[in-house]
Structure 1
Amino acid sequence: MSAVEPLLELRGIVKHFGASRALAGVHFTLRAGEIHALCGENGAGKSTLMKIIDGIHAPDAGEVLLCGERVAIDDPAHAMRLGIGLVHQEIALCADATVAENIFMPELASGRQRWMDYRSLNARAAAALARLGQDIDPQRPVGSLSLSQQQLVEIAKALTLDCRVLILDEPTAALTELEAAALFRVLHDLKAQGIGIIYISHRMAEIFAHADRATVLRDGRDVFTGAVADTTPDALVRCMVGRDLGNYYPPKSAMPAAEPVLEVADLADDEGRVRGVSFTLRRGEILGLSGLMGAGRTELAETVCGLRRARQGTVRLRGRALQLRRYGDALRHGIAYLSEDRKAAGLFLELPIAQNIASMALGRVSSRWGWLRPSAERRLALELGAQLKLKSDGVDIEADSLSGGNQQKVAIAKLLATKPSVLLMDEPTRGVDVGAKSEIHHILRELADSGVGVVVISSELPEIIGLCDRAVVIHQGCVAGELSGSAMTEEALIRLASGFSAQELQ
């Protein structure tokens, strides 16, 4: 391969799925020893293009060249033999197998070895995870791991392959800042070794901190390729969405300190993940819950809404103490929770949009005799869909057919159907594109302005700072501190999340 010849080149790639055109003559090049960001809204064609490189789909037209030679990639196993590794955004691990077995699944599945030295396998898996700064037990079943730990196992699996081309699809979506930093150290090491890295991300800060070049796809076409140093985040976003987003984050609350909507005092759960937490949510504000992954943010929200049993403490809604033995109790009182994993716990993907939205508010769509009324389901879905600017081909289509951003809007609409007083939103913009993120930010602010109390759990520090009026930082199940106004900086949030006291920030 010459000095100027691309490591990987795609020329005029076209792909249709039935009458729908996913890619319309896309050109893309990857050089050895570069991190090349691939950007675009959900549905722009990024995943289809990567699946063509990985041999999952065959192009209808165009060609793929690897080191200057045309290749026809038959399947992912063939791609792997060619030195192409893909880490999907959606976790694709075997829950019942161990961490080590998942990391070396391609080796185990090859059948080349009649027996396996599991001591060696576990040691090699531990070493692969150590590169990412992790000490996950390689003998644990993957199904017992958190979402972020599973994502790190996926990445470790790819790093064990002898890759010339490494494709990462939203690899930091479920990672903390520290876990992401460890990943980027590894990626820069791989880049120095001459490996070409295709990095798919909606996070502008990551792209401008680590990528050498960026390509933007819009409506199945490549509309921009250039050096990251020669462009700006605003220009890249305009290329992605085809318009100017204006204010990415809505203005913060201008209301004076209002009365408390939700008061949590000395709350602890049965498992010791939440330990004596107290905070107050006021009417008209968005309160952020920040902290490292595993700090207890999700467990805190689950304890507040009855999904996790409380061992001690009180939860008050508008001054009234609640007895929350199960999630249904919280819903009846007006407290609703959005799961961080919409596919597993937020939506019924195989059901139509209308049934999803009505599923937690059946009383609103039933007759006096208890019969469901499909016409009422549709009216409710249309009403909330319009409020949330849901983009779909009708409320009778399955939720699985929607983009990530529109799936998230359906999950939010499902909660709004219950007419909540308090919304606990766990990673509300995870895995959605920049345009949908901005829309969700504005939706949450509109809800807060209408008097709904909104709590946002987010691993993205710019989102906490840009969206939230105040932030409570959780460290090892306890409140490490509270920040607001100009004091709410990334450095201050990280230091509190890492265990520094509020006094040490002064």
Structure 2
Amino acid sequence: MNNLALEFINISKSFPGVQALKEVSIQIKKAKVHAIVGENGAGKSTLMKIAVGELLRDAGTIKVFGQEAQISSPSDGYHYGISLIHQEFSLVPSLDIAQNIFLGRELIKGYLSFMDNHQMYKRTEKILESLKMFHLDPHLKIKDLTVAQKQVVEIAKALSLNSKIIIMDEPSAALTLEETRRLFELIRELKEKGVTILFISHRIEEIFEVADEVSILRDGELILTKSVAQIDRNQVISNMVGRSLEFFFPSKVEQKKEAKIILEVKNISKRRQFSDVSFQLKEGEIIGLAGLVGSGRSEVALAIFGLNHLDAGEIYLQGKKVNINSPFEAIKQGLALLPEDRRELGLIIVRSVLENLSLPALYWDIARRYFIDLKRELTIGRKIQKELSIRFASFSQKAESLSGGNQQKVVVGKWLITKSKILIMDEPTRGIDVGAKLEIYNIVNTLAQRGIGIIFISSEFTEILGVAHRILVMSEGRITTELDPKSSTEEDILKFATRKKVS
């Protein structure tokens, strides 16, 4: 009896200038959690998109439950019972949760084929209750949800299809530790019900917690498939990157005693988001801003950058009080922001890589008398590509076609050509593989050596401890404590991330 749910046989796929997949063959067993790992650009997302019909394979065969499948469109994928939960959200902001879940397959009633809204909202409520993560109202608009809540809606959408094979691409990237634990409980429940899960994650520890088997891709080729019980963390990492790799954080830049205060935030508040937040940032200092999803970290970052107008409080740059009411004013004052949602706020995804890289510097550096200096723009673009090892076919390639890791590198790169004195990085390694994370950490260190002050926001407490000179912990919109990374642990951060402000 065939015990395979899904089988890839010699799958190949190429794009202009890039061989994305080279004769990849993987067997996925029924009612198992099979992890697919690899660096950015390894071919993971391409293979998964082929499985659901979002991309057409150049060669090879796909079998679903032992039968050869002709999958050439997303509707074919649904027909074979395969759903893909994307790393980046595919939701309509202006519609509510129920409308998004049933979009394109609305329930109807009566001879006149009216939409059966009652049943759609009733079924949505039942699905959301089964997730046990959030108490979400099916009538809530997507635009009013947090990143974590949007991820929950994506999971609910897949469950609504009663899929027998669910592909999860970085499902926990925006979730807190508690939400991730509940997600894993849900995955185990689905497995017990006979559902097969393909689990893609850059968090290696998650693979060992939830997966039964793991397949490792590198440069579009399958390196190995093994039971999780037969492989350890170091072996996974070394096979991903093609070399022995001791995961570490680079030595922190030593702060100068005479370093000046370049940013001071005094008692800033925003109704229902954060309250009475105060801190100082010095030249070459890396401040870690830690907390759970919804603690107010991102909202503080947006406020400093002029995207979130303050109700109270003051901001000082180089000792002078400033009023930053727009990103343009923030950039003019020497601030830069890497936003949490890179696709929505960090990139113009329908424009080219080069246009995205040069955008912040157009006004001050690249434009000459209202005309863009194309030669200088290309020169700067090449420099940034080399410095960050950004992988793409050409500078004219649209940003939306890049892998998640390369998109993030473009967001980082566009600020390297500005003369920013303060850099706010909100979840800069979200959805990025081990090798790319190390590159980001090295970039952070390099910028600190140049005297740039950095606010580093992350949900990964190990990362905060490894990168920051000092840590500010937020909970319920307030700073609850300041910690020294040298004498603190993840448990210390979590303790203060789940309590109210300490007097």
Identify which of 6, 15, 19 aligns with 1:21.
19
Q: How does 1:440-459 map to 2 (within 5 A)?
A: 440-459=440-459
Query: How big is the shift at 1:247?
Result: 4.6
- Which residue is equivalent to 2:262? 261
SS at match of 1:276: strand
Query: How big is the shift at 1:261?
Result: 2.6
1-side partners of 2:244 and 2:475: how far apart?
38
Structure 1 stretches of 4+ moved >6 Å? 109-113
Q: How does 1:113-262 map to 2 (within 5 A)?
A: 114-132=113-131, 133-255=133-255, 258-262=259-263
SS at match of 1:44: coil
Name the aligned partner's letter for residue 196 of structure 1: T
Query: How big is the shift at 1:192?
Result: 1.9
Q: How many residues align?
A: 499
Is 1:57 equivalent to 2:58 in the alignment?
Answer: no
Moved more, 395-404 or 24-33: 395-404
1-side partners of 2:201 and 2:272: how far apart?
35
Is 1:383 equivalent to 2:417 in the alignment?
Answer: no
- Which residue is equivalent to 1:466? 466
Is 1:10 equivalent to 2:8 in the alignment?
Answer: yes
Contact 1:38 1:199 in 2 (8 A): yes
Name the aligned partner's letter for residue 50 of structure 2: I
2-side partners of 1:157 and 1:48: how far apart?
21
2-side partners of 1:402 and 1:342: how far apart?
12
Cα deviation, 1:283-327, whole Å, max 9, x if unaligned, reads 222211121222211110111122211122122223322222222
Say if 1:383 and 1:76 are closer, same or farther in 2 by CA, change over 3 A: closer
- Which residue is equivalent to 2:423? 423
Say if 1:70 and 1:247 are closer, same or farther in 2 by CA, change over 3 A: closer
2-side partners of 1:418 and 1:481: how far apart?
33
2-side partners of 1:229 and 1:502: how far apart?
44
Contact 2:33 2:196 in 1 (8 A): yes
TM (norm. structure 1) is: 0.91
Say if 1:285 and 1:131 are closer, same or farther in 2 by CA, change over 3 A: farther
- Which residue is equivalent to 2:366? 365
SS at match of 2:448: helix
Contact 1:405 1:437 in 2 (8 A): no
2-side partners of 1:493 and 1:364: how far apart?
41
Query: How big is the shift at 1:432?
Result: 2.3
Query: How big is the shift at 1:189?
Result: 0.9
Contact 1:340 1:428 in 2 (8 A): yes
Contact 1:471 1:488 in 2 (8 A): no
Name the aligned partner's letter for residue 485 of structure 1: P
Contact 1:354 1:380 in 2 (8 A): no
SS at match of 1:425: strand
2-side partners of 1:123 and 1:480: how far apart?
40
Q: How does 1:341-360 map to 2 (within 5 A)?
A: 341-360=341-360
Cα deviation, 1:97-144, whole Å, max 9, x if unaligned, reads 220122233641789993444334323212322333211221122233
Cα deviation, 1:227-282, whole Å, max 9, x if unaligned, reads 2222222221221121234454211233366443322111112x331211012223
- Which residue is equivalent to 2:399? 399
User: What is the percent sequence identity of the aligned residues?
Assistant: 37
1-side partners of 2:122 and 2:495: how far apart?
33
Can you give the 5+ residue segments of structure 1 that lack an aligned partner in the other structure?
none
SS at match of 2:289: strand
Say if 1:452 and 1:19 are closer, same or farther in 2 by CA, change over 3 A: closer
Can you give the 5+ residue segments of structure 2 that lack an aligned partner in the other structure?
none
Query: How big is the shift at 1:417?
Result: 2.3
Query: How big is the shift at 1:44?
Result: 1.5
Contact 2:475 2:501 in 1 (8 A): no
Contact 2:107 2:115 in 1 (8 A): no
- Which residue is equivalent to 1:303? 303
- Which residue is equivalent to 2:64? 66
Name the aligned partner's letter for residue 269 of structure 2: A
Say if 1:73 and 1:400 are closer, same or farther in 2 by CA, change over 3 A: closer
1-side partners of 2:266 and 2:17: how far apart?
56
**Cα RMSD, aligned residues only:** 2.4
SS at match of 2:243: coil
Q: How does 1:103-114 map to 2 (within 5 A)?
A: 103-105=101-103, 107-108=105-106, 114=113
Is 1:277 equivalent to 2:277 in the alignment?
Answer: yes
Contact 1:305 1:336 in 2 (8 A): yes
- Which residue is equivalent to 2:315? 315
2-side partners of 1:240 and 1:457: how far apart?
26
Moved more, 107-116 or 162-171: 107-116
Cα deviation, 1:449-500, whole Å, max 9, x if unaligned, reads 2211111111222222222222211111111222222443222222222226
Moved more, 110-119 or 422-431: 110-119
- Which residue is equivalent to 1:95? 93
2-side partners of 1:285 and 1:245: how far apart?
28
2-side partners of 1:397 and 1:32: how far apart?
38
Name the aligned partner's letter for residue 478 of structure 2: C
- Which residue is equivalent to 2:491? 491
Contact 1:472 1:481 in 2 (8 A): yes
TM (norm. structure 2) is: 0.92
Name the aligned partner's letter for residue 334 of structure 1: G
Say if 1:358 and 1:77 are closer, same or farther in 2 by CA, change over 3 A: closer
Say if 1:110 and 1:457 are closer, same or farther in 2 by CA, change over 3 A: farther
Query: How big is the shift at 1:375?
Result: 1.8
- Which residue is equivalent to 2:41? 43
Contact 2:53 2:76 in 1 (8 A): yes
Contact 2:107 2:120 in 1 (8 A): no
Name the aligned partner's letter for residue 495 of structure 1: K
